[in-house]
Amino acid sequence: MELCHLDNGFKIDNKCLTQLMKEKNLHLLQELEGIDGVVSALQTDTERGIDDDGDNIARRLEAFGSNTYKKPPSKSLFHFMWQASKDLTIVILLGCAALSLGFGIKQHGLKEGWYDGGSIFVAVFLIVVVSALSDYRQSKQFRKLSKASEDIPIDVVRGGRRRQISNLGIVVGDVVFLKIGDQVPADGLFLRGHSLSVDESSMTGESEHVEVNGGLNPFLFSGTKVVDGYGELLVASVGMNSTWGEMMSLISRDTSDQQTPLQARLSKLTPLMAKIGLGVAFLVFVVLVARYFTGNTKNNSEFGKFEGNKTKIDDMVNAAVDMVAVAVIIVVIAIPEGFPLAVTLTLAYSMKKMMADQALVRRLSACETMGCATVICTDKTGTLTLNEMKVTKFWLGQESVEDDAGYSSISDCLLDLIREGVTFNTTGSVYRPSSGSGFEFSGSPTEKAILSWATLELHMDMEKLKKQCVIQHVEVFNSHKKRSGVLMRRKADNTTHVHWKGAAEMILEICSSYYDASGVTKDLNDDERLKFEKIIQGMAASSLRCIAFAHKQVQNKHINDEKYEKLEESNLILVGLVGLKDPCRPGVREAVEACQLAGVQVKMITGDNVFTAKAIASECGILRPDQEAKEAVVEGIEFRNFTPEQRMQKVDGIHVMARSSPFDKLLMVQCLKQKGNVVAVTGDGTNDAPALKEADIGLSMGIQGTEVAKESSDIVILDDNFATLVTVLKWGRGVYANIQKFVQFQLTINVATLVVNFVAAASAGEVPLTAVQLLWVNLIMDTMAALALATDKPTKELMEKPPVGQTDPVITNIMWRNLLPQALFQIVVLLVLQFKGRSIFGVSETVNNTLIFNVFVFCQVFNELNSRDMERINIFKGSQGNRLFWGILVVTIAVQVVMVELLNKFANTERLSWGQWGACIGIAAISWPISWVFKFIPVPAKPIFSYLKSDSKRGLEQLAEAKSP
């Protein structure tokens, strides 16, 4: 005790506890009088935990700290502005703006010479700020989601009451319950438990599992995972004082920079558009330079007129700078830098909405991948059902016990055996508050149901029984054996007994006799065994989970061997059977039908027997009456024993897999993926981790899911509800739909701008839109349109289409049908105004240029509305709920009015009359009927370019045939 001193009333300090844990210092632990000494020094109780009052918790937080970690500081808005300003096109534009500003001031003086260069500076600044704000909001959203994923519920005992709290709320002195699949929330000491093994690979890198016990290794560390057994932990170090805390402080979980598959596919378009843009920009620049130096420009044009020796060098340089600026702006317009932003915005918006719909996205790309899902392999318990277990059937021997009279007729000896088996062979607990009369049950839903039944119906007193017996050994429930067992000794007569509990057919296999209702032991011959099998099948066919209890008294000598590991598993006596009802979730049948309508096959993979599985699958609509039971329903062992060829042949037709192991689940996922399916898998256990990782989209359960399962998954279903999977599917498809809307909108502007600028430059020696006007169009096109179109909610129609293939082109035939007429319309309108606008409207050249600019911007406003839905005629349907969309349209129109009417020198515009405004809006509105007409034209589903590929391939084949002799 020399190392330790009093600290805030505790007989041990933080430094001493940290040294004890980090060094695994057994010598120091002995000096502290062992674990009991630490318990006493921390003023806690191994049975009741710490007192659950605010002052006590605050005192512990002050003395030992909180269970939180320091994180790298969040990136500021200035950081994102700096990142945006380093973009090559922005740097070139700033260079052009600086040259234009310098020459402009030199030529026209400060009062008027700053307009051109200053306008470009302001426009570039706006683009940088808007882009930075978007990225900054994204970063905040990711940190918020990351924080939510780190908040893990943990079972502790406080004031004698077992309850769930956040792992972030754990304090030193807490007693924490650990089971298979849990992540250890803090450093601490092993108090009690059985067969506890942990995976310390996250801390040490060693893959070997480490056994934890009260002897040579009582140390447990945060971040490690329980892989077997269960136990209780005394928390000794939290937060930054823990071993994991030091590592966590260095880790940033901001995944906003990772590129999703859709972003990767869209990024392939960017170089192509950039090459086209550079080509057009170069040609425009060459034409402008040639026309300028040959004297084919006008005095009042943007570049002025070249008059040989009369033209000042400053004017020539200024004209050249302006031409370079126009060429650069054309490149900026052509490069679709809005694609990544639109994808990120759509995914972030979807993630936020999915969080509200009880789905926490851990991996960004999972949103879009879910939209491509063709198969969902789902659990039964808790996902398709409510996971609210209740014992509704009880069989003693071959007699059903259904009322109080039936329970009262059971012999006391048999009742004691059942109570004993329930009390000791469980990971749950019963708590009865001293103030109230009700009981509180904790543990898994199955454990809680059995504990509730035994306490309320059989009048079991758990605390009293625990004092009368001593547990010798425990075999924890696992997914392979599907049963758990306990070896215990009665203090009264010093006899030793084995109790087993588990899946009824598994327990029946290891029994050779059974108790009847009066407590008499009878042989379990083949005829009797067949009767019990029919009882089990009858309960299973009624959607009941059937659990059996078995017992045997064993010789004392078996427990004296310290290396004893296996419990007696033969010639047991069947004690009784209970049937637990877990009703289907409301709306699950409709959710399954919605998936099937969307072209997504739903398969149920469960550990329950085949009769329960078929009953639930039929109730949920997964299994239809017309489907062949032999082909549609298999057991795990049967599927496992198929040859690889048989599995590949039959896997699509299987709808239900019963009595499956985690390996069977993994095998099915692998087979489905080999057949070209995009597979989503749900899982909640540690053993589900391989299947969750193997699947294209792993979905873990937020309530029943272990931390290992959650770590292996892409999305956490917070309410364990199948209907939430359908919501995730819908949002996934919404991501694709929103991106396609934006791509269609942006490509329309790209095509129109490039063609108009090239034609105008080649024929008239000037471009219709100035650098500032083009930058404003670019801002509308990239950032504002991305915000408007990326935040539409998914429509019902999306769930009536087949899944989008991961290799399908992003630009579909439907999109080509929509964008080409719109681009052609804009090209025709702008070129007519460019060459005939002055005579049509009877206006000056500057007013005509303003009309061109105004019409072009309003064409984008109307086309943004057209792009809201690529197939639906009524483009306004469902738009009322998207306030952001309408807000962005209003802001776009308002800024356009300000630029035309007020910022004349900044934007190079002239004020327009009411009639001219009406003409601009009227011309732009023609895009609506064009869109309406063209949506009636049917298009083939097969991509256009695939026909070209198939034709060229066919031509090569024919050529090869002609050359062959």
What residues form DSSP beta bridges with 425? none
Return the residue matching tokens 């929330």.
185
pLDDT digits (tens, 9 = 90+) for 633-646: 999 999 999 999 99
285 to 282, 300, 758: CA distances (angstroms): 5, 19, 9
3-state secondary structure 737-767: HHHHHHHHHHHHHHHHHHHHHHHHHHHHCCC
For 553, the enclosing helix (H) or strand (E) is: strand 544-554
**Residues 510 and 569 sit within 8 Å (Cβ to Cβ):** yes
Give the whole-angstrom CA distance, residue 861 versus residue 882. Answer: 16
Helices (H) and strands (E) in the chain, counts: 39, 26
**Residues 269 and 740 sit within 8 Å (Cβ to Cβ):** no
Among 422, 411, 424, 416, which Cα is nearest to 446's? 422
Give the whole-angstrom CA distance, residue 388 versus residue 581. Answer: 8
pLDDT digits (tens, 9 = 90+) for 117-170: 676 677 677 767 777 776 777 677 667 666 666 778 888 999 888 888 888 889
Confidence class for position 3, pLDDT limits 50, 70, 90: very low
Q: What is the mean pLDDT of the chain?
A: 82
Q: What is the DSSP string of 841-897?
A: HT--HHHHHHHHHHHHHHHHHHHHHHTT-SS-S-TTTTGGG-HHHHHHHHHHHHHHH
Give the whole-angstrom CA distance, residue 757 versus residue 768. Answer: 7
Q: Which of 182, 187, 322, 379 is catalytic?
A: 379
Give the whole-angstrom CA distance, residue 183 versus residue 105. Answer: 67
What residues form DSSP beta bridges with 581? 390, 544
516 by Cβ neighbours in 10 Å (0-12 / 13-18 / 19+) ranks as middle
Return the residue matching tokens 């064993």.
554
161 by Cβ neighbours in 10 Å (0-12 / 13-18 / 19+) ranks as middle
pLDDT digits (tens, 9 = 90+) for 913-944: 999 999 999 999 999 999 999 988 888 867 65
For 920, the enclosing helix (H) or strand (E) is: helix 914-925
Question: Quick check: is 151 catalytic?
Answer: no
Give the whole-angstrom CA distance, residue 481 versus residue 552. Answer: 18
Q: What is the model's pTM?
A: 0.74
pLDDT digits (tens, 9 = 90+) for 206-226: 667 888 888 788 999 888 888
Is the model more confident about 435 or about 602?
602
Q: Rounded to 5 degrees, what are φ and ψ at 581?
A: -95, 130
Is the model more confident about 908 or about 613?
613
Among 333, 368, 331, which Cα is nearest to 746's? 333
**Residues 724 and 717 sit within 8 Å (Cβ to Cβ):** yes
pLDDT of residue 96: 66
Reported in sequence order, the residue ranges of 285-352 that DSSP labels E, i.e. its strands, are none
Range list of H helices, 799-844:
813-841
Query: What percent of the chain stands above pLDDT 70?
Result: 83
pLDDT of residue 270: 67
Which tokens is 641 given? 């024993």
Q: Does pLDDT of 605 surpass 80?
A: yes
Return the residue matching tokens 């905040």.
140
Question: For residue 280, how many other CB atoms are within 10 A of its CB?
Answer: 21
630 by Cβ neighbours in 10 Å (0-12 / 13-18 / 19+) ranks as exposed
Provide the b/e sequence for 492-512 (b: ≥16 CB within 10 Å).
Answer: eeeebbbbbbbbbbbbbebbe
Give the whole-angstrom CA distance, residue 764 versus residue 922. Answer: 26
Amino acid letter at 864? E
pLDDT digits (tens, 9 = 90+) for 464-490: 999 999 998 888 887 677 899 999 999
pLDDT of residue 112: 66
* Domains recognised in the chain with CATH numbers: 14-71+171-237 (2.70.150.10), 332-348+730-945 (1.20.1110.10), 373-385+586-716 (3.40.50.1000), 390-557+570-581 (3.40.1110.10)
Give the whole-angstrom CA distance, residue 328 versus residue 60. Answer: 63
Long-range interactions of 939-943: CB distance < 8 A, separation 24+: 939/813, 939/814, 939/816, 939/817, 940/813, 941/813, 942/813, 943/808, 943/809, 943/812, 943/813
Q: Does pLDDT of 177 surpass 80?
A: yes
Question: Rounded mean pLDDT of 61-83?
Answer: 81
CA atoms within 13 A on the CB side of 485: 21
Question: For residue 342, how many other CB atoms are within 10 A of its CB?
Answer: 27
pLDDT digits (tens, 9 = 90+) for 540-559: 888 899 999 999 998 875 54
Question: Rounded mean pLDDT of 329-339?
Answer: 67
Lowest mean pLDDT among 279-283, 418-422, 569-573, 686-690: 686-690
Give the whole-angstrom CA distance, residue 600 versus residue 804. Answer: 11
Give the whole-angstrom CA distance, residue 589 versus residue 573. Answer: 41
> Is 143 strand, coil or helix?
helix
Give the whole-angstrom CA distance, residue 539 versus residue 548. Answer: 12
Question: Rounded mean pLDDT of 418-426?
Answer: 93
